[in-house]
Structure 1
Amino acid sequence: MAVAVNDVIDKVQQILQDTAGIRWSETNELIEWVNDAQREITLLKPDATSTNQTVTLTTGTKQSLPSDGNRLLRVIRNMSAASGGNGGRSVRLVARDVLDTQTPTWHDPNVTGDAAHTNVVKNYIYDEQDPTNYYVFPGVSGDVYLEIVYSKNPAVVAAGDNLGVEDIYANAVQNYVLYMAYMKESEVAANAQRASSHYNLFTAAITGKAQIDTITTPNRERRGDS
């Protein structure tokens, strides 16, 4: 069940003891902070807005995420069509240095041999310093579709919308909005302390979620973790 922005705002106003909207008669500012919170969550935990999507590749080796993407998380496999297609060959992550050493001309559309540009991708290369782009090997020639997982920028929400992050982050969003509200009146010492407290709750929720994900991932069995 999706969490409504209005529900978050209502809880915030209850904590601010302003349910009548006297101090915060305009909720636009609170909603702006909801959107700020979503962006902060995505920054700290990119998979909070992860999406699995089949994308159509462009000719050559360099590929870019869809316009709403902020970071590639994984390339899964080749697909037979842009939508509703069948899965094809899996795609593995490789180091750029390996390809650059073995086949320095692999970006060249006229390259021959194993690096010849084709319609089936075998590997991909990702650089954290260029998070919205990635490279594929061999380069693309023809119609090629890949299933990828990427972190997308959360949609800007309004009063009547649902949150743009998963429901489990609703409390984190609430604490971030409270942090901003108390920071705005931080000339009062008690408000400054409350702002700090809510920000700590916000960051603890995000980092704690990351730790829980690490502990509970099915990949622990593959790694042999205890």
Structure 2
Amino acid sequence: MKGSDILTRARTALNDADAVRWTDAELIQWINDGCKFIVGLRPDAGSLTAVLTLVAGTRQSVAGMAPPGLRLLDVIREEATGNGVRLVDREVLDAEVPGWHKATPGPVDCYVFDNRDPTTFYVFPPAVAGAQLEVMYVRAPVEISSADVSSATLTPPDVFLDSLLNYVLHRAKMKEGEGIDVQVSAGLRSLAEQLLTGKASSDRAFSPDFNSPGARPAPGALSGGV
């Protein structure tokens, strides 16, 4: 999805093909804001799997990756060994290996994550500088400008086009700042959010995580059985 795809649709909906009321610069900024809005509510809209080069020790971060990371989603494997990396509870690790932050460095076996610091995670054993992990993370949305509005690919996939368009229209109507336009603006933002939550429900319904044999209810569970 290109910025120009949203720009053209927005101008058609606003009946402002000649940019009399809303400038390209305004609409492009709202497109950028809309991408952040979508990724904030639907982190999977900005998910990316890439290789992270580790620094020495336990504390690691996806903030410095290219593109920059906003949130860690998962650690998949240790690159050198190919072994999977498990998520563990910090309290359990603290109890079982009290000095784990100062343990002998080696290939990463597990990691600790806290939602209160979403770009940071800790690995065990402590990493050797230069070791690599395959990670899944939420990237910061691409910022577009008038120079690349027709060429740069926006971060949210095409399926989020309607939500992004409604967000841009919401911001455009907000600029009017009075009367019916305020109500229209609020309705457009609400619609943008509803499209995101509706897609979340649909994605969950058809996700392998919820449709594999292990995730299905046991026979009789839906009718009150055990």
TM-score scaled by structure 1?
0.88
* Residue of structure 1 equivalent to 2:13: 15
* Residue of structure 2 equivalent to 1:83: none
Distance 1:22 1:76 in 2: 50
Instruction: Compute the displacement of 1:142 (Å).
Output: 5.2
Write the deviation string for residues 189-209 of structure 1: whole angstroms up to 9, x where unpaired.
221121122111100111112
Tell whether the 8 Å contact from 1:100 to 1:106 is kept in structure 2 after alignment: yes
* Residue of structure 1 equivalent to 2:88: 94
Write the deviation string for residues 91-111 of structure 1: whole angstroms up to 9, x where unpaired.
010000001111111101xx3
* Residue of structure 2 equivalent to 1:138: 125
Q: How does 1:138-177 map to 2 (within 5 A)?
A: 138-141=125-128, 143-158=130-145, 159-160=149-150, 161-177=152-168
| Percent pairwise identity | 36
User: What is the number of equivalent residue pairs in this alignment?
Assistant: 209
* Residue of structure 2 equivalent to 1:57: 54
Q: How does 1:68-147 map to 2 (within 5 A)?
A: 68-80=68-80, 88-108=82-102, 111=103, 116-118=104-106, 120-141=107-128, 143-147=130-134
Instruction: Compute the displacement of 1:143 (Å).
Output: 4.1
Distance 2:173 2:161 in 1: 19
Instruction: Give 1:224's match in structure 2, choosing from 210, 216, 224.
Output: 216
Gaps of at least 5 residues in structure 1 are 81-86
Instruction: Give 2:45's match in structure 1, choosing from 48, 51, 63.
Output: 48
Write the deviation string for residues 29-66 of structure 1: whole angstroms up to 9, x where unpaired.
11000000001111111111100001111111110114
Coordinate RMSD, CA, aligned: 1.5
Gaps of at least 5 residues in structure 2 are none
Distance 2:60 2:25 in 1: 38
TM-score scaled by structure 2?
0.88
